[in-house]
Amino acid sequence: MAVLPIRLGVNIDHVATVRNARGGRHPDPVKAAEIAIAAGADGITAHLREDRRHILDADVTRLKDRIGKPLNLEMAATAEMVEIARKLKPHAACIVPERRQERTTEGGLDAAGQREALRAVVGELADAGIRVSLFIAAEPTQIEAAVSIGAPVIEIHTGAWCDAIAAGETAAATAEFDRIARGAGLANRAGLAVHAGHGLDFVTAEKIASLGEVVELNIGHFLIGEAIFAGLGAAVRLMRSAMDRGRAQLGAPGTARSRMR
């Protein structure tokens, strides 16, 4: 068993949130992406929401044209988004559940409850050469559904774990982390590549990086917030160091090494 490196995808949605608060062009999410990449990001993630509350269509086009690293497009499984993705051809697409009323992507996708619809979407995106992931909770039923749908990648929703830590609920946080670790192991054994994201900060990213099955983290809100104090380049470098510290713990009790594939 070999340890795979862990990639950092920087989600630049909230640069667009700030820009849109006043309209105009500043701050530019593409400039943020370039700074993040120069500081060590392995890819850029952007969520084109149905209501266009932050990232806009023109942003994803400019990101695709201008950044020199993979673009991961987060999107709902709608005909409109599939059409946009098929034209844009990002490196990857992460299918997320989406409700207009929510502040952020609050829960995982119910892959088990919509297998046929998702199989069609995953197939259409894969035919366009896009690597598709499903954003799901670390539940065996959802992981098994991702396999049966034919998605090569899952992204495990880490929000409940991060919320439990932030609330000081130690027992709940431990239970959530164990659930994530078990899910990552199950998915890895089933042949899926495992990503994780939502709500991660320096501490939680370090801990998640100690799970060898997890090969990519997608992180946005904390990094963009931290950039206000430290600058985006510095925040990304600190995140990269935190993830490297976590990876260096592999082999310690309670961590797992990933299977080579």
The residues assigned a catalytic role are 47, 74, 198
Verify binding: residue 153, ligand PXP, rule CB under 6 A: no
Q: Considering the complex, what minimum distance in angstroms separates the CB of residue 16 from ligand PXP?
A: 12
Verify binding: residue 220, ligand PXP, rule CB under 6 A: yes
Dist. CA 59–CA 56, nearest whole Å: 5
Among 188, 204, 210, 218, binds ligand PXP (CB under 6 A): 218
Dist. CA 130–CA 198, nearest whole Å: 22
Two tokens at 81?
Answer: 């988004």
Q: Measured in whole angstroms, how far is the alpha carbon of residue 48 from the centre of its chain?
A: 14
Dist. CA 45–CA 132, nearest whole Å: 13
Dist. CA 45–CA 36, nearest whole Å: 11
Q: Considering the complex, what minimum distance in angstroms separates the CB of residue 239 from ligand PXP?
A: 10
Verify binding: residue 74, ligand PXP, rule CB under 6 A: yes
68 contacts 33 by C-beta, under 8 angstroms: no
Stretch 157-196 residues interacting with ligand PXP (CB under 6 A): none
Verify binding: residue 142, ligand PXP, rule CB under 6 A: no
Contacting range for ligand PXP; rule: CB under 6 A; set: 33-41, 110-118, 218-226, 229-237: 218-226
Dist. CA 36–CA 131, nearest whole Å: 22
Verify binding: residue 97, ligand PXP, rule CB under 6 A: no
Among 58, 104, 41, 34, residue whose Cα is nearest residue 239: 41
Q: Considering the complex, what minimum distance in angstroms separates the CB of residue 251 from ligand PXP?
A: 27
User: Phi, psi at residue 52, to the nearest 5°?
Assistant: 50, 45
Among 7, 8, 10, 11, binds ligand PXP (CB under 6 A): 11
Two tokens at 24?
Answer: 């105009």
Verify binding: residue 199, ligand PXP, rule CB under 6 A: yes
Among 238, 233, 237, 194, residue whose Cα is nearest residue 217: 194
Nearer of residues 131 and 259 to ligand PXP, judged by Cβ: 131
Please report the DSSP string for 2-61 in residue order.
Answer: -PPP-EEEEE-HHHHHHHHHH-SS-S-HHHHHHHHHHTT-SEEEEE--TT-SSS-HHHHH
Q: Considering the complex, what minimum distance in angstroms separates the CB of residue 252 from ligand PXP?
A: 25
Among 44, 67, 75, 135, binds ligand PXP (CB under 6 A): 135
Q: Considering the complex, what minimum distance in angstroms separates the CB of residue 158 from ligand PXP?
A: 8
Among 255, 156, 158, 261, residue whose Cα is nearest residue 212: 255
Verify binding: residue 71, ligand PXP, rule CB under 6 A: no
Verify binding: residue 72, ligand PXP, rule CB under 6 A: no
Q: Considering the complex, what minimum distance in angstroms separates the CB of residue 214 from ligand PXP?
A: 13
Nearer of residues 21 and 260 to ligand PXP, judged by Cβ: 21
Verify binding: residue 102, ligand PXP, rule CB under 6 A: no
Kindly list the residues in this chain that would bind ligand PXP in the complex (CB under 6 A): 11, 13, 47, 74, 94, 96, 104-105, 135, 155, 197-200, 218-222
